Structures are given as structure tokens and as C-alpha cells.
Amino acid sequence: MFDSSTRTVVIVGAQWGDEGKGKLVDVLAERAHWVVRYQGGANAGHTVHIGDKSFVLHQIPSGILHPGVRCAIGNGVVLDPDTLFTEIDELIADGVDVQGRLYVSDRAHLVLPYHKLIDSLSAASREIGTTGRGIGPAYEDKIARRGVRVLDLRHSERLRSLVEKGVSHANAVLTAFGVSERASVDSTMSLLERLAPRLLPITEDVGLVIHRAITSGANVLLEGAQGSLLDVDHGTYPFVTSSSTTSGGAAIGVGIAPTAIHAALGIVKAYTTRVGNGPLPTELGEEDGERMRTLGNEFGATTGRPRRCGWFDGVVVRYAARVNGLTGLAVTKLDVLDTFEKVALCTGYKVGDRLHTEFPWDLADLEGAEPQYEWMDGWQTSTADARSVSDLPGAARKYLDRIESIVETPIAYVSVGTRRDQIISV
Ligand code: GDP
Ligand code: IMO
Ligand code: MG
């Protein structure tokens, strides 16, 4: 992945999230100096298996599991300080040395208890099926210019006045919901006063630090969260998250120039999943969906919700390749399809009598979309031990070749299991 002209690489989900970004970041971090999160927050759940241990990272970049790799949380992330320190303490308890390796942007906005309260009580959040982590309300406060940033923890009077503003707005929202719960200035302040002494020492001007790392020749991974179809501009709005998940968001969310990014690796499953509500054109019916969910262990890493499952959607991934400028694809979970007699790839949607080969925008079109499938023979052999393309059965190679041609992007990696070594570099 890294060479003399490719040193800053963005890793982006090219479907609806949970594509296996954590696994790929962990594999690629072996040769990285820095791993930086650029958007989202604790709505993410990035799973990494090492030996018989499994880690689920929500706030901290997945590079933390490689000793010596430095990690940063960029300004574009909404940071839940409570979750952050729970996660840090769990890592330390598991023997991971976090000290001196994790930095947080002083400009990242904080997710506070009242953001989570609003998210959990809002009918709109329920309709979207959010993770309830306060992500939408925290980004709303950021855009409305009443957010609380990490650097505000340095100034106690300013902090109190910002928290008062935030709480007063949150309480107006809760009143409008007609619920009895209320946000509290005192409890928010006491949480922040308790966490500030741990948070302030790890704050940094992350944009500057990463700029300096890049100019001194470091290898940098920018770890996206969620997926391209959950991007607030480019996803299936309003069934999206509240940040720019696509590669364009990486420059803004780290604080570096777009021209500093050399490559964009799109992570995709060999099929499609979605957790939460909104269109999923290739969604399988109950029985086949259940089979894929069981084989792929498709349950949310953050909320435990069952993921909706469907065949690989070439229209979606080709679209994601365009909006992200993908230079390569990593196809994960190929092994999950090992037992299927036939596998299908969606190459277009029929809406009424019109065939869409480019992703349609109108939700009404998406909801009525009839996927057009190409059926291929399954390989019905285990791929779990394959370590090179030539180890893969012919039918699996054909399937991957077809993905490559539909998406018009070369496949750089194929993942055939959860373990670090279960990866094929193409
Ligand atoms: P992320 O949010 O994109 O990091 O993905 P998640 O961690 O939420 O979900 C991906 C799940 O698939 C995790 O449980 C991974 O351990 C698992 N996984 C990743 N790659 C593979 C693979 O190639 N094969 C199988 N069977 N599981 C995989
Ligand atoms: P990772 O990084 C899958 C989904 C939620 C919901 C919508 C909005 O692990 O791939 P939010 O809480 O962000 O306001 O919810 O986005 N969602 C994810 N789905 N993977 C994720 O993260 C997700 N983060 C949010 O289910 O539909
Ligand atoms: Mg996930």
C-alpha cells in the first residue's frame, strides 16, 4: 500500500458501514506511522481480532493495537470523552500501551450527556435508527455554533457559559418532545471537570502534527468511519449519519490539504449490509437474509442490532468509487459466501420501465428499485486458507474479476477471515 509516492492513504467504507475498515486498518497499520480518525464518533464500531482476543474500537483509531504506531482523533470527529476514557482503560487492562501514543485535536467538538439524551428520546432518531450515541445532536450544535470544543476545557468560565447555552437549547428541544427528562448544567460540568485533567494533556494541534509527519516522509492512514452511503451529502439522505464520511471529509476532518492525500482505499464486503433504516435495494428476503446474517455474524458492533443483508450492489460501489476517487478496493468477508450454490451481483435497478445504472437520488426511486442481477456459480470451497489469488477457487476469482469490472476499480486486497493473516494482497 505504501511506497515513495503513496504515503497518505484514506481508508473509506464504500457501502453502508461495517465493511471491515477496522480489520484493514489493523493490517495496513503494520507499516504506518500514524492512524487518524477524521469524522463520526462513538457511533463507529471497528472490530479487530488478534489471536483469540477481539477488540471493538469506537473512538480510538484501530492503529492503536500496533505498538509504536501513533494515533490521533481529528477536529472533524465528535468526541465523547466518557466513552474515550472507558475505551482507553479497557485497552490498558488488555495490555495495550496507550500512553504517549494517542492525541486528540483541541478543536474536536464534544459529545455531552444531553446530546445522547436527545438522540435517545427523539422520534426522528428512531425513524432513522441511529446508534443513540448523540452524534446528530452534537453535529447540530457544531453547525449552529453553540458547540463545546476540547480546547474550551482550558477556560472554566467560558466552559460554563457554553454548557449553559447547550443545556438551555437541549432543554428547549426536550420540552418540545413533550418528555420529562432534562439536561443539567451541574452534572455536565462535573463530568467535564472530572475528565479534563485526563483529556487536556493529550490534546494537540492534530492538523499541524500530521502535516509535519507527512512532510517528514511518514506513512499516514486516515481511518474513515461509517460508509459512503451514510454520508450526509452523498448518502441515502435523510437515512444517513451527520458527517462527511467520504474521502473529501478526510482533509477537512484532519486539518490537512486535499492534495496531501495520495490514495483512497474503499472497503467493501463481498455482499452488502446495512444496520438502521433506509433503502437497501439488494436486501434479501427473510430466509436468505438470515442465512447470510448467520454465516457473516452480521450483528452491529456498537448496538448489537441484526444487520440487514443483501447481494453485492455494483451500482452502489461504482458510485462510491466515483465520489471517493477510489484508487483501490479491499473486498472483505469473501469466505462468508463460500457455501452459496449461486452468488449474485447487482448491475442496475429497474424503476418502472427505466433502467438505472447510476445511483438514483430520489428515495422514491430507490424504494421502488428492482435490482438487476447477474447470477454466477458459487465456489462451494473454503477460501479461509487462501493467501494469494492463485489459492482461490476459479469461481471466486471470476466473481472478484466481475466486481472489479463493474466498479471500474482494481482490487488491492481480499479478506477471507477475521484474523490478521487472513488477507490476500493482490
Ligand atoms: P467496520 O466498522 O468497517 O470496522 O466493520 P465491523 O467491525 O463493524 O464489522 C465487520 C465484521 O466482520 C467484524 O466482526 C470483523 O471481525 C469481521 N470481518 C472482517 N473481515 C472479515 C473477513 O474477511 N471474513 C469474516 N468472516 N469476517 C470478517
Ligand atoms: P462503522 O464505522 C454502520 C448508521 C446507524 C443509522 C445511521 C445514523 O462501524 O462502519 P447515527 O448514530 O450516526 O446518527 O446513525 O447511521 N450508522 C452506522 N452503520 N456502521 C457504522 O459505523 C455506523 N454509524 C452509524 O445505524 O442508520
Ligand atoms: Mg462497524
The one catalytic residue in 26, 33, 46, 335 is 46
Residue 18 a catalytic site member: yes
pLDDT tens sequence across 237-270 = 999 999 999 999 999 999 999 999 999 999 999 9
- In percent, how much of the chain has pLDDT > 90? 97
pLDDT value at position 387?
98
Residue 233 a catalytic site member: no
Whether pTM > 0.75 for this model: the answer is yes
Average pLDDT over residues 29-48: 98
Ligand 1 atom nearest to 62, measured from its CA: 4
Give the separation between CA 244 and CA 130, rounded to whole angstroms.
16
pLDDT value at position 337?
98
Ligand 1 atom nearest to 332, measured from its CA: 23
Which ligand does the CA of 267 lie closest to? 1
DSSP 32-60: -SEEEE-S--TT--EEEEETTEEEEESSS
pLDDT tens sequence across 372-421 = 999 999 999 999 999 999 999 999 999 999 999 999 999 999 999 999 99
- Tell how far the Cα of 302 is from the centroid of ligand 2, in angstroms: 9
Which of 54, 332, 385 to mutate for ligand 1's pocket (most ligand atoms within 8 Å of CB)?
332
pLDDT value at position 231?
98
Q: Is there an atom of ligand 1 within 6 Å of 415 CB?
A: yes
- Tell how far the Cα of 299 is from the centroid of ligand 2, in angstroms: 13
Average pLDDT over residues 180-208: 98
pLDDT value at position 361?
86
Q: What is the mean pLDDT of the chain?
A: 97
- Tell how far the Cα of 297 is from the centroid of ligand 1, in angstroms: 9
pLDDT at 235 over 90: yes
pLDDT value at position 294?
97
- Tell how far the Cα of 37 is from the centroid of ligand 2, in angstroms: 15
Average pLDDT over residues 125-133: 97
b/e sequence 189-222, b meaning 16+ C-beta within 10 Å: bebbeebbeebeebbbbbbebbbebbeeebbbbb
Which ligand does the CA of 37 lie closest to? 2
Ligand 1 atom nearest to 417, measured from its CA: 24
pLDDT value at position 184?
98
pLDDT value at position 269?
98
Contact at 8 Å (CB) between 18 and 272?
Answer: no
**Atom 26 in ligand 1: residue holding the nearest Cα:** 417
Confidence of residue 353 (pLDDT cuts 50, 70, 90): very high
pLDDT at 77 over 90: yes
Confidence of residue 303 (pLDDT cuts 50, 70, 90): confident
pLDDT at 1 over 90: no
Which ligand does the CA of 245 lie closest to? 2
**Atom 19 in ligand 1: residue holding the nearest Cα:** 20
Give the separation between CA 56 and CA 26, rounded to whole angstroms.
12
pLDDT at 302 over 90: no
- In percent, how much of the chain has pLDDT > 70? 100
Which of 333, 336, 413 to mutate for ligand 1's pocket (most ligand atoms within 8 Å of CB)?
333
pLDDT at 132 over 90: yes
Distance spanning both ends of the chain, measured CA to CA: 11
pLDDT at 301 over 90: no
